Amino acid sequence: MTTTGPGRPRKQQPSRPGATAREEILDAAAELFTTQGYANTSTRSIAEAVGIRQSSLYHHFNHKDDILEVLLAGTVAGGLAFARRVGAEVPELAVIDGDPGIDSDGPTAAVAARLHAVALYDGTQLCNARWNLGVLYNLPEARSTRFERFMADRQELRGLYRRLGADLPANGWTGAGQTGELAFRLVESLVNLRADGLNTPDSPLQAADAGIVLCGLIDGLAAIRTRSAAIVARLAS
């Protein structure tokens, strides 16, 4: 009869969140990548932070790049999935010629709320993650072909912002096609705000609001917020 032993013991008791060793490795790597830098972090130091041998880490990841790939993908996965759901819905109302109206039942409020909801949800994901992994976007390594999937997902998310923003009228602050891009950039700026220790629990809402205000829709912000909250409540998983 064949029996299986308990496996090679850890150097220390697990102290990181995660139901599996793989999840603990990702958490340790996320901390070290964002605090010490990617180039300065070795697989040995990641293993030590988890309390396992370096050889055990290689049972889960063949290379440090494999860890970075998973972490980068996680920074856009939630926001992209939500933006896809918003984009797939048929807008309740469309922008019409003439005075668009900004009351709670107005067409511009309905359209703007879709962009606001995506920005709010995406920004909340970036700000509430355990580690500020968005800072890894600027790594030279993240621009290599090794991470084409991450770059494609981020570009798709950016495109969804643009598509949602394209349904809003141009104004003195934003030209045609720029509204969604502006909202996307405002949300990504939360990464730097967090890195500087300046973010607050209200930062995601403030970034989403800023995109709407710069669209010239400050008078309808309250109505847009109400609709946006309803979209998040309905579509967030």
Res. 231: pLDDT tops 80: yes
Considering the domain architecture, whether residues 123 and 29 belong to the same structural domain is answered as: no
Per-residue pLDDT tens over the stretch 40-88: 999 999 999 999 999 999 999 999 999 999 999 999 999 999 999 999 9
Q: If DSSP codes are grouped into helix, strand and coil, which group holds residue 33?
A: helix
Per-residue pLDDT tens over the stretch 144-197: 898 999 999 999 999 999 999 988 876 656 665 688 999 999 999 999 999 999
Considering the domain architecture, whether residues 101 and 172 belong to the same structural domain is answered as: yes
Q: How far from each other are the two terminal CA atoms of the chain, in whole angstroms?
A: 46
Contact 29, 67 (CB under 8 A): yes
Instruction: Among 62, 80, 113, give the residue marking a domain's end.
Output: 62
Considering the domain architecture, whether residues 57 and 168 belong to the same structural domain is answered as: no
Instruction: Among 62, 82, 115, give the residue marking a domain's end.
Output: 62
**15 found inside a domain:** no
**110 found inside a domain:** yes
Considering the domain architecture, whether residues 28 and 138 belong to the same structural domain is answered as: no
Domain of 159, in residue numbers: 65-235
Number of domains into which the chain is organized: 2
Q: What phi and psi, each to the nearest 5 degrees, are found at residue 170?
A: -70, 155
**8 found inside a domain:** no
Tell me how far the alpha carbon of residue 26 is from its chain's centroid.
17
CB count within 10 Å of CB 150 equals: 22
Q: What does each C-alpha distance from 184 to 14, 88, 100, 116 come to in angstroms?
A: 38, 18, 24, 10
**75 found inside a domain:** yes
Considering the domain architecture, whether residues 87 and 28 belong to the same structural domain is answered as: no
Considering the domain architecture, whether residues 163 and 198 belong to the same structural domain is answered as: yes
